[in-house]
Amino acid sequence: MRLVDTTDARAHAGMRTLCSSGEEHESRLAEKFRIHLVGMYYADVGPEWGSDGKQQADYLHHIEVVLSGRRTVVHNRKAYELKPGQVWYLPGNTPVERQCGEWCEVLFFKLSCEWLPGVDPLLDWPDREPRLIQEGELSDWRKWLEPDQTISVADLLWLRGQLLLWTTRAVPEIGEVIARHLETHTQFTEVFRFIESNLGADLRIASLAEVYRTTQDAFSIAFKRSIGLSPKEYLMRRLNQEALQQVINTNLHIKEIAEKLRFSDEYYFSRFFQKLNGTPPSRYRRDFRSSTKS
């Protein structure tokens, strides 16, 4: 099929360009930014939602639609009360204390963001904090909870657009965040692509240094200086992100997940998972699913 524009040039009289793809710096930044929806969940929770005074964090971002009840999260000694009719952005990699004294209904989304392959610019954003996105009537969201509700492709596309809108409302300075992120990360673009193509417990720093075309010591120093994490720390974080998604969103046996992520055995995988998440994968899955309703 030939693609030909037969529009008469006179139809464009008086037209002026406000934004065009590939011309503006902002357009290039926005074009590659992606929201990855990990899952949409409903929870009916009470005091057990609290963290018993502990600071805890998730590697994934949360957007929470508060349907009923009141909860509180505390970050850097500042308390944020999550009230009915509100939508909140709770960024990943951000330890908070959770408090809950009553029964609450919440519809929430787990998501990650990406500009470079597998690299979330909001995880290391220095100003990350809980942020209120929206206040108002949220009863329309209850339709997603109806037993006969089926989610179509059109629904998911709409939902991705809504999550993107909410993210930009929560982080209006997102353009600056991405730009600063790229200043330090773009030199490792090929490394990040290699990690995404070969992610597994057997991936070695030496292989990354080879992709970067330098010695392992020189690569480790450069990576740590630019990214703020050592290559090992980054690999562990990225591997754990993938492990969490497999545990939460699949019905694979723990042994199968261990094999998929190329751990030597399921016991090594369980030790790895517990070290980073505070509980074994089987219990994490059980506790998560017992506190949510589809």
Can you give the pLDDT at residue 234? 94
228 contacts 124 by C-beta, under 8 angstroms: yes
CATH (residue range 33-171):
2.60.120.10
d(CA 34, CA 74): 28
Question: Residue 47 burial (CB < 10 Å; 0-12/13-18/19+)?
Answer: exposed
Q: How many CA atoms lie within 13 A of 137 on its CB side?
A: 2
User: What integer pLDDT is reported at residue 294 of this predicted model?
Assistant: 44
Helix, strand, coil shares of the chain, percent, nearest 5, are 45, 20, 35
What confidence score (pLDDT) does residue 17 get?
66
Let me know if the fold of 33-171 is the same as that of 199-293.
Answer: no
- How far is C-alpha 235 from the geometric centre of its chain's CA atoms? 16
- Residue 17's alpha-carbon distances to 12, 21, 24, 32, 186, in angstroms, are 11, 11, 11, 21, 30
- Averaged over successive runs of 10 residues, the pLDDT of the chain (294 residues) comes to 70 67 69 89 91 89 96 96 96 94 93 90 92 90 85 91 95 92 91 95 96 96 92 94 90 95 95 92 87 57
Q: Please report, for the chain, the start and end positions of each structural domain, with discontinuous segments joined by +.
A: 33-171, 199-293
Cα 157 from Cα 142, distance rounded (Å)? 19
pTM of the shown model: 0.82
Q: Is 199-293 in CATH node 3.10.20.30?
A: no
Beta-bridge mates of residue 87: 65, 134
